[in-house]
Amino acid sequence: MGSRSKRNNKNKRRTDIFKLSIIMALILVLAAGAVIILMKQSGSTSSIPQGAGKNTGTTAEPEKTPPPKQAESTPEAGVPETPAKKDTNVLLSAVGDCTIGTDTKFNQSTSLPVVVQKHDNDLSYLFSNVSSIFKNDNITIANLETTFTNSSSRRDKNAEVQYSFKGDPELAKSLVLGSVEAVNVSNNHIYDFGDEGFKDTLDTLKAENVAYFGEGNQWVTEVNGVTFGFLGYQGWSADSSFLKKLKNDITALKTKASVVVVTFHWGVERSYTPNDVQQKLAHYAVDCGADLIIGHHPHVVQGIEKYKDRFICYSLGNFCFGGNSNPSDKDTFIFQADFKFQDKKLNSIGVKAIPCRISSVSSYNDYRPTPMTGDNKSKLLKKLNGLSTNIGFEISDNFNYSAVK
């Protein structure tokens, strides 16, 4: 009984050892498998680049790290940015002799005041064919070769043939309706009715808010942030006293205005070329600082000259001219100058000529200046180019620009 019990115990120990051995073997197998799986996973992560294994036909490369983005440049602390330069321009139109009236000795049935009356007293009639041009510029100036007065006291001019021009002060409204901002009053007809007529004229212009210059007056105005100054003279001689006055006036005005425009009433009637006095005065005015010279009085057009980067228009001829009901030469033109600025400094000037006839019809003067078209326009431009000197380009009804030094 005792020996059987020992045998049974021994068999039981053997069975337990066998089971324990199997369990240990299974644990070792499982542990080895886990190690192998972990090693395979670690090898996959480190050796296969992103995208490898795709059938792309190319060898995949490791993804490159992009370079750091450059910071946008900014002004250094305390250093202000340079502001952009501001460009602007001012467009000026100039026309010749405007005698908005008549001589009472003329045949009144064909006179300017009567023609206006026949058009229902419409004061816009006179400039109606050119007002659209003037409304689209910044400044329009004209030579006012008449008086606006009711005086009947003619001044004796000590001449064999005398013309004395005047218009009813109401006619001055035609300037406003035509978009004429300012007029030169320095000419040989502004005193046709003495000091009284001159004063009446200035009072009328003031009442209509039309600026004026000449005979000791100057006009200063600001357009698009740029100041323009205007002077007017009767330029019959170039003696030393007049040259001194001219220089002083231009120099003084230049301290107030960026651009100085000087108008001269000068020259010889019905002469198509400027005389020596005209040329001397024009060149001297530019030498003194004038930026544009405008001339009138000959009743016909004269040429344009470029001198030291500035333009001289020697004679614009007649325009709205009540001084003759049928002049033989009805040619005229609107002179336009386009002043271009950068930071209020003048850097170029463009010029063009708009050919006109002083009348809307060719057979007589209906006192209604009208732009030319077709052959007439071409002929006048050809005529003007033939009279002009030192321009450097062909004058046309399109702007040509020249740099200003």
The answer to whether 87 and 340 have CB atoms below 8 angstroms apart is yes
- Quick one: which of 333, 315, 311 has its CA closest to 270? 315
Q: What is the mean pLDDT of residues 322-350?
A: 97
Give the pLDDT of residue 28: 62
405 vs 235, 347, 349, CA distance in Å?
28, 7, 11
- Whether 261 has a pLDDT exceeding 60, the answer reads yes
- Quick one: which of 381, 296, 374, 274 has its CA closest to 331? 381
The answer to whether 336 and 352 have CB atoms below 8 angstroms apart is yes
Q: What is the mean pLDDT of residues 135-156?
A: 97
398 vs 81, 184, 188, 336, 381, CA distance in Å?
38, 26, 33, 10, 11
Our CA angle for 279, 229, 298, nearest 5°, is 35
- Whether 13 has a pLDDT exceeding 70, the answer reads no
Give the pLDDT of residue 157: 87
Q: What is the mean pLDDT of residues 168-178?
A: 98
Higher pLDDT, 94 or 65: 94
The answer to whether 182 and 210 have CB atoms below 8 angstroms apart is yes
Give the pLDDT band (50/70/90) at residue 160: confident
CB < 8 Å & 24+ apart, contacts of 238-245: 238/277, 238/280, 238/281, 238/284, 243/284
Pairing status of strand 87-99 against strand 259-266: unpaired
- Quick one: which of 184, 165, 134 has its CA closest to 292? 184
Q: What is the mean pLDDT of residues 314-331?
A: 98
Higher pLDDT, 302 or 83: 302
Higher pLDDT, 302 or 4: 302
- Quick one: which of 303, 213, 278 has its CA closest to 249? 213
Task: Produce one character per residue of 357-366: b if its CB has 16 or more CB atoms within 10 Å, e if not.
Answer: bbbeeeeebb
Q: What is the mean pLDDT of residues 31-59?
A: 42
Give the pLDDT of residue 300: 98
- Whether 281 has a pLDDT exceeding 60, the answer reads yes
The answer to whether 183 and 208 have CB atoms below 8 angstroms apart is no
55 vs 51, 58, 59, 135, CA distance in Å?
10, 8, 10, 75
Over residues 100-117, the pLDDT tens digits come to 999 999 999 999 999 999
Q: How far apart are CA 383 and CA 61, in angstroms?
A: 79
Q: What is the mean pLDDT of residues 278-282?
A: 98
- Whether 192 has a pLDDT exceeding 90, the answer reads yes
Q: How far apart are CA 192 and CA 264, in angstroms?
A: 18
- Whether 264 has a pLDDT exceeding 80, the answer reads yes
- Whether 83 has a pLDDT exceeding 60, the answer reads yes
CA atoms within 13 A on the CB side of 253: 28
- Whether 228 has a pLDDT exceeding 90, the answer reads yes
Give the pLDDT of residue 81: 61
Give the pLDDT band (50/70/90) at residue 69: very low
Average pLDDT value for the chain: 87
396 vs 170, 323, 334, 349, 352, CA distance in Å?
36, 28, 11, 15, 6
The answer to whether 56 and 104 have CB atoms below 8 angstroms apart is no
- Whether 258 has a pLDDT exceeding 60, the answer reads yes
Q: How far apart are CA 254 and CA 328, in angstroms?
A: 41
Give the pLDDT of residue 301: 98
- What percent of the chain has a predicted confidence (pLDDT) above 90? 77
Give the pLDDT of residue 7: 45
Q: What is the mean pLDDT of residues 342-369?
A: 97
- Whether 76 has a pLDDT exceeding 90, the answer reads no
- Whether 143 has a pLDDT exceeding 80, the answer reads yes
- Whether 373 has a pLDDT exceeding 80, the answer reads yes
Q: What is the mean pLDDT of residues 212-234?
A: 98
Q: How far apart are CA 27 and CA 18, in angstroms?
A: 14
Give the pLDDT band (50/70/90) at residue 238: very high
| Most confident of the following: 17-26, 49-58, 274-283 | 274-283
Q: Which residues contact 71 (CB under 8 A, 6 or more apart)?
A: none
Ramachandran assignment for 120, one of left (phi > 0), alpha (psi -120 to 50 degrees), beta (any other): left
Q: How far apart are CA 62 and CA 48, in angstroms?
A: 9
Mapped onto helix, strand or coil, the DSSP state of residue 226 is: strand
Over residues 49-65, the pLDDT tens digits come to 333 333 333 333 333 34
Distance of CA 208 to the CA centre of its chain: 27
Secondary structure element (H or E) that encloses residue 259, with its range = strand 259-266
- Whether 195 has a pLDDT exceeding 60, the answer reads yes
Give the pLDDT of residue 23: 66
Q: Which domains does the chain have, with CATH numbers?
A: 92-403 (3.60.21)
- Whether 246 has a pLDDT exceeding 80, the answer reads yes
